[in-house]
Amino acid sequence: FEELAYEIYSLYISREEIPEQDLKDLIHKSYSTFRAKDITPSVTLDEQKNLHLLELFHGPTFAFKDVALQFLGNLFEYFLVRRNKGKEPQDPSREHLTVVGATSGDTGSAAIYGLRGKKDVSVFIMHPKGKVSPIQEAQMTTVLDANVHNLAVEGTFDDCQDIVKALFADPDMNSTHRLAAVNSINWARILAQITYYFYAYFSLVRKTGQSNPTFRFIVPTGNFGDIMAGYFATRMGLPADKLIIATNENDILHRFWKTGFYEKMPVHGKEAEGGLVEDGVKAAESGVKETLTPAMDILVSSNFERLLWFLAYRTSSVEETNRRRMEAGEKVKTWLDALKKDGGFGVNKEILAAAKENFDSERVSDKQTIQTIKDIYGASVPSATQTNGHPTPAPATTGTQHNGHYILDPHSAIGITASLRSITACTESAQKTGGDPAIHHISLATAHPAKFSHAVELALKDVEGFTFEKVLPEQFVGLEEKDKRCLDAPASWERVKGIVRELVEKEVQAKMA
């Protein structure tokens, strides 16, 4: 995995920027924190159906975001150390990075674990007070490193996001502090995620012995960052048959692929209610339908505009490259302006047809999610080999299997539900056309089931002998009883600005002492 990551990163990072050995060291440092030897191993769930699961949760916070944020944290530190070389702590020209982020759960803990203890970096993560799951809150607030600051905001996730945006837009704040972001708008996050698409493909080639197996990736999708990495992988030569977007009931992406219209459909009151408070459903932005998969509860997808640009560029009739790029950018701006003003926009049939070349989509309800967790647990996991062709070892992370049965988290269950639908559709199509029915489906497992244990228990409550305590990862045992550090903050960007300035100053002064 590390060798492959180096080859991919080297295509985008020049050796003048980061020398070869330095980049290799950064990659090794980033992935030495993972519990699985293969970093992102693939497991076969059904050999007859060619159904595989790409496990992305073996990092420090048990979520796929660790793959990118472990690397991003080390990247931040690398450049700061280089720029500050020879500068004493008292030197006014010494650079200090202030990372500010908002989270409804997973991004915050992954960012904190990626940045904890880094030199000349302060990290401030805001979450809506009392609205993230206990596990997610504990993962964040039990990190006691001096450079980590958790702020529990008296408000909603929207309030946290608005504070971050206001801080980045404030000229006064930017004149005194070097601010940085950790969300998936940061290209380095997308780059790091490209690796596991290629790694899963090469593992499949080894397992099947075929030089060019037909395969699809299925991605539980909210903000579109994870599947955007898959799209970039296909543009780099990954021969995927399709990328399948799997959404929950917040289905703006699914509706776009079916109709060509990208429209907000906010819901409120009784219509919005759902999901489980214990798994952090109340942390979602306002207007979404609350579901059992809170990490995917979104109104709009922040990375989707990246794909829109490529679609506009590909379908343009303009021949001159720079003009074509500018035209694509102008189209995307027009669409996004309409989204803000009118709540949505539509695209022409050429754009929609281009979108369907690489992608398909499925929408999965909470009821279907629960049923899939039951169904997959009810089947036995094949014991012969992993998708990478090696003998199946004991799970690198405990809590995913119980008595030979696989336990899905609800987000991963959405991917598996979409996979099973695609498998059925491919089989029926092959029967009609005489095509190849043996299409492999690789579904991304984005989180460990313990992170959303209440949804899992809801699905498996009638299974005799099953309790989550029996399969809880050792890293989670007693986590909520550990010492915590967290500051309460009002939903005011000016007040948060004051808190950030005060705590950064204290950190800097402590280093000078």
Say which residue the tokens 């989670």 belong to. 476
Residues 24, 501: Cα–Cα separation, whole Å = 35
Nearest residue to 200 (alpha-carbon basis) of 61, 39, 438? 39
- Give CATH for domain 96-177+483-512: 3.40.50.1100
Residue 107 pLDDT greater than 50, yes or no: yes
H-run or E-run covering 8:
helix 2-10
Record the tokens describing residue 164, joined without a space: 């971050």
Segment 28-40 shows an average pLDDT of 96
Residue 380 pLDDT greater than 60, yes or no: yes
Segment 327-341 shows an average pLDDT of 95
CA angle centred on 275, ends 274 and 277, rounded to 5°? 110
CATH architecture, domain defined by 42-60+188-266+282-450: 3-Layer(aba) Sandwich (3.40)
Segment 74-96 shows an average pLDDT of 90
Average confidence score pLDDT of the chain:
90
SS3 sequence of 278-304: HHCHHHCCCCCCCCCCHHHCCCCCCCH
Buried/exposed 275-307: b ≥16 CB within 10 Å, e otherwise = bbeebbbbbbbebbbbbbbbbbbbbbbebbbbb
The 10s digit of each residue's pLDDT in 479-502 is 889 999 999 999 999 999 999 999
Residue 186 pLDDT greater than 90, yes or no: no
Model pLDDT, residue 130: 84
pLDDT tier for residue 395 given thresholds of 50, 70 and 90: confident
The 10s digit of each residue's pLDDT in 249-304 is 999 999 999 999 999 876 656 565 676 666 665 655 567 788 898 888 888 888 89
Residue 383 pLDDT greater than 70, yes or no: no
- For β-strands 42-46 and 440-445, DSSP reports them as unpaired
Model pLDDT, residue 296: 87
Buried/exposed 435-454: b ≥16 CB within 10 Å, e otherwise = eeeebbbbbbbbbbbbbbbb
Residues 422, 418: Cα–Cα separation, whole Å = 6
Residue 385 pLDDT greater than 80, yes or no: no
Segment 112-138 shows an average pLDDT of 91
| DSSP state, residue 392 | P
Contacts of 376 (CB under 8 A, 6+ apart): 45, 405, 406, 408, 413, 416
Record the tokens describing residue 120, joined without a space: 């000349």
Model pLDDT, residue 387: 47
Ranges in the chain annotated CATH 3.40.50.1100: 42-60+188-266+282-450, 96-177+483-512
Q: Strands, DSSP E only, in 419-498?
A: 440-445, 487-490
Percent of the chain clearing pLDDT 70 (strictly above)? 93
Which residues are catalytic, by number? 65
